């Protein structure tokens, strides 16, 4: 993921090519698909018409595929336009990334590299500080890829002592923040150089006697982790 003046720009693998897609380009393709017109799509997305044409040209150059099919009209950019099969595929891939990123209003984000891949069991290993994290291998990843790992605060377990269970990723940390959020207690837990937040009920907080500065253990199942290549 790169940061540009138009917001985050994601690298999507399209066949054997890498294309760069941000929210503006996504909206342009989405509105072309809905409106059947580049002019109308640009207007709806608040994108200058020349910029819209430039975005399409960039995507077609990066993918080496036709993205938009247009039947020319009169002056001023008229005519009927529609996404090609390739254009619809790009739209679909971006929506998949977007759905992962929006899976929770607040989500823990960790940027890291894939250290090892077990192809037989379809799992990958990354590092959280100096600890190993196991997560399922969903998608096309290779060793060394830079990835964004996403963990919902509701999927993090809080323990006073590490326990033997199906939770393979367990780490020791310290509570450095605590607040009431949406009827849940949000804990900010410091793990080395990384801070993760976890949501628990007030009942659980009372039962565990959690207070600021208390040492605890947190854990999360491998299946609760989403990973996006950046």
The pLDDT tens digits of the residues spanning 62-121 come to 889 899 998 865 555 456 899 999 999 888 888 877 766 665 457 888 888 999 998 888
The pTM assigned to this predicted structure is: 0.57
Mean per-residue pLDDT, 12-30: 83
Residue 3 has pLDDT above 50, yes or no: no
Q: How far is CA 225 from CA 41, 135, 221, in A?
A: 35, 6, 7
β-strand 7-14 against 17-22: which pairing, if any?
antiparallel
Residue 42, C-beta contacts closer than 8 angstroms, at least 6 positions apart: 28, 31, 48, 49, 51, 52
Q: What is the pLDDT of residue 141?
A: 86
Q: What is the pLDDT of residue 2?
A: 47
- Within 4-84, where are the H helices? 23-35, 38-44, 49-63
Mean per-residue pLDDT, 194-216: 94
Contact present, 135 and 189 (Cβ < 8 Å): no
Contact present, 218 and 140 (Cβ < 8 Å): no
Q: What is the pLDDT of residue 226?
A: 81
Q: What is the pLDDT of residue 137?
A: 83
Q: CA torsion angle for 186, 189, 194, 199 (degrees, to 10)?
A: -30
- Please state, in angstroms and rounded to a whole number, the distance separating the CA atoms of residues 25 and 33: 12
Name the average pLDDT for the chain: 84
Contact present, 184 and 132 (Cβ < 8 Å): no
- Please state, in angstroms and rounded to a whole number, the distance separating the CA atoms of residues 58 and 48: 15
Nearest in space to 218 (alpha carbons), one of 38, 199, 110: 199
Q: What is the pLDDT of residue 13?
A: 73
The pLDDT tens digits of the residues spanning 119-144 come to 888 889 888 777 788 888 877 788 99
């Amino acid at each position: 993921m790169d940061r540009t003046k138009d917001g985050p720009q994601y690298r999507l693998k399209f066949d054997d090519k890498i294309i760069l897609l941000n929210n503006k380009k996504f909206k342009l393709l989405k509105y072309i698909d809905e409106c059947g017109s580049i002019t109308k799509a640009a207007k709806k997305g608040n994108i200058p018409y020349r910029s819209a044409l430039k975005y399409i040209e960039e995507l077609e150059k990066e993918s080496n595929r036709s993205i938009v099919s247009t039947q020319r009209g009169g002056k001023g950019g008229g005519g009927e336009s529609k996404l090609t099969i390739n254009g619809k595929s790009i739209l679909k891939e971006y929506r998949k990334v977007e759905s992962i990123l929006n899976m929770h209003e607040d989500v823990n984000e960790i940027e890291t590299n894939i250290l090892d891949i077990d192809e037989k069991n379809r799992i990958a290993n990354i590092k959280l500080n100096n600890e190993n994290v196991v997560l399922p291998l969903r998608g096309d990843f290779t060793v060394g890829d830079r990835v964004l790992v996403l963990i919902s605060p509701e999927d993090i377990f809080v323990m006073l002592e590490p326990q033997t269970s199906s939770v393979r990723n367990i780490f020791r940390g310290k509570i450095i923040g605590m607040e009431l959020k949406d009827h849940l207690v949000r804990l900010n837990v410091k793990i080395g150089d990384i801070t993760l937040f976890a949501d628990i009920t007030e009942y659980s907080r009372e039962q565990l006697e959690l207070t600021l500065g208390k040492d605890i253990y947190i854990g999360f199942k491998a299946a609760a982790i989403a990973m996006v290549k950046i």
